[in-house]
Amino acid sequence: MCRPDRLDILLEWKLYREGGAAGDTGGMKEATMITVTIPVREIHCGGCENTIRVALSRMEGVRGVEPDHRTNQVRVSYDEARVGEVGLREALAALGFEPTAA
């Protein structure tokens, strides 16, 4: 029951988000890299991991993505000034990998 490639959904979602963003400061903020581990309901296999890795790494501000189907967790390193955990969770949900409580 693997998810098909849903990158198109993420890209549409991202366009929507960018279109609605009004307060872009132009990238002059200092980068603050942090890493979070987001548990998701289920990652089936390496193919699912790859979908997550490719999709999230395309998001602005994301530097590292490490999905693990054995633990059903996704470790993400990102620039806090450009994206937040809420946005990452929304992206995972849009891909079909529903995040669970932190």
- Return residues touching Cu ion (CB under 5 A): 2, 44-45, 47-48
Q: Which of 37, 34, 50 is nearest to 82 (CA)?
A: 34
Say which residues have a Cβ less than 8 Å from residue 8's Cβ, sequence separation at least 6: none
State the minimum distance, in angstroms, from the CB of residue 48 to Cu ion.
3
State the minimum distance, in angstroms, from the CB of residue 65 to Cu ion.
16
Q: Which of 82, 100, 97 is nearest to 17 (CA)?
A: 82
CA 73 to chain centre: 12
State the minimum distance, in angstroms, from the CB of residue 83 to Cu ion.
25
Burial group, residue 80, by CB count within 10 angstroms (0-12, 13-18, 19+): middle
State the minimum distance, in angstroms, from the CB of residue 2 to Cu ion.
3
